[in-house]
Amino acid sequence: MPDLGKYAEAVLSSYAVSIVLLLVLVWLSVRRAKRIKRQLQDVESKVKKHG
């Protein structure tokens, strides 16, 4: 790891915030995808029952 000198705290905290934000975005995307998949399966099952 390079020597960041007096900026080490700012740089490392920026990395930490970025990683946390990326993890939150991934988690939200996966959660939304599961919800939409479940909704699609519900719609498809209704269509099969009536079709």
Is 3 in a helix, a strand, or coil? Answer: coil
**pTM of structure:** 0.73
**pLDDT of the residue at 50:** 80
Distance of CA 34 to the CA centre of its chain: 12
How long a stretch of residues is the chain? 51
**Domain extent listing, the chain:** 27-51
* pLDDT at residue 51, as a whole number: 66
Q: What is the pLDDT of residues 22-50, one digit of tens each?
A: 999 999 999 999 999 999 999 999 888 88
